Amino acid sequence: MAFAAAAQFHNPCEEGVEMSSALIDPYFMKSERLGFRCWSLEDFPLARELWGDIEVTRFFGGPFSNEEVRLRLEREIERMKVHNFQYWPIFMLSDNDYVGCCGLRPYATDSTIPELGFHLRPKDWGRGLALEATRAAIQFAFGTVDAKGPAAGHHPENANSNIVMAMLGFSTHMTSFSQRWERTFHTMC
């Protein structure tokens, strides 16, 4: 798989970062077909399209209201500032079509093990994009933020996420129950 990321990661979301190169190429990370960039407040329409969609969010408490989407977007932006990762918006390199998001967030039990996740628009399901995006995010976790290894969680009825985790080499670690839903957690083998 082709993958490009800076050897020494410079957070492209930091204030004062030279943006002239971003105008030429807005993606700080690429896989074979996907470009990754950072969320901004101007991305609310993209975030709303994704997290306001019942098919995308049915396994994690959605669809979300405009206010909930705005808060989720702000949380992703803040996560990038604090941790140098987030669930980045991803786009097709061929035509810059918005696909969804994929990336990392802090894992509750260990700050050196980020949690991997992805949310894709239904029109992009079944194209191998989740697998491609998560492979890039895993490489970022190991190569850029020096993680011990990623974990991943999803609703146990989300069979497609379970398939992606298995294809990535994750093994089921445990199932956790909360007041809202249960999650199956995976760790890398």
Answer whether residue 174 is part of any domain. yes
CB 56 within 8 A of CB 122: yes
Structure confidence at residue 33 (pLDDT):
98
The angle subtended at Cα 47 by Cα 41 and Cα 53, nearest 5°, is 160
CA distance 151 to 113: 7
Structure confidence at residue 7 (pLDDT):
38
Does pLDDT of 15 surpass 90?
no
Structure confidence at residue 20 (pLDDT):
44
Average pLDDT, the chain: 83
CATH number where 183 lies:
3.40.630.30
Structure confidence at residue 179 (pLDDT):
39
E strands, 78-139, are 87-92, 98-107, 110-120
How many structural domains compose the chain?
1
Lowest-pLDDT range of 91-100, 129-138, 164-173: 164-173
Average pLDDT of the segment spanning 102-122: 86
Q: pLDDT digits over 77-91, tens only?
A: 999 999 999 999 999
Structure confidence at residue 130 (pLDDT):
96
Rounded to the nearest 10°, the torsion over CA 85, 88, 91, 92 is 50
Answer whether residue 5 is part of any domain. no
pTM over 0.85: no
E strands, the chain, are 29-30, 34-36, 87-92, 98-107, 110-120, 151-154, 170-177, 182-188
DSSP 3-state of 36: strand
CA distance 102 to 169: 17
**Residues paired with residue 177 on neighbouring β-strands, in sequence order:** 182
Structure confidence at residue 21 (pLDDT):
47
Q: pLDDT digits over 127-147, tens only?
A: 999 999 999 999 998 888 878
Structure confidence at residue 158 (pLDDT):
84
Answer whether residue 25 is part of any domain. yes
Answer whether residue 73 is part of any domain. no
CA distance 174 to 122: 28
Answer whether residue 95 is part of any domain. yes
Which position has the higher pLDDT, 5 or 10?
10
Q: Which two tokens stand for residue 49?
A: 């399209």
CB 164 within 8 A of CB 134: yes
Structure confidence at residue 147 (pLDDT):
80
Structure confidence at residue 2 (pLDDT):
35
Domain ranges, residue 164: 20-38+89-188
Answer whether residue 99 is part of any domain. yes
Average pLDDT of the segment spanning 176-184: 46
Answer whether residue 84 is part of any domain. no
pLDDT band per the 50, 70, 90 thresholds, residue 174: low
Answer whether residue 138 is part of any domain. yes
Amino acid at position 156, single letter: P
pLDDT band per the 50, 70, 90 thresholds, residue 22: very low
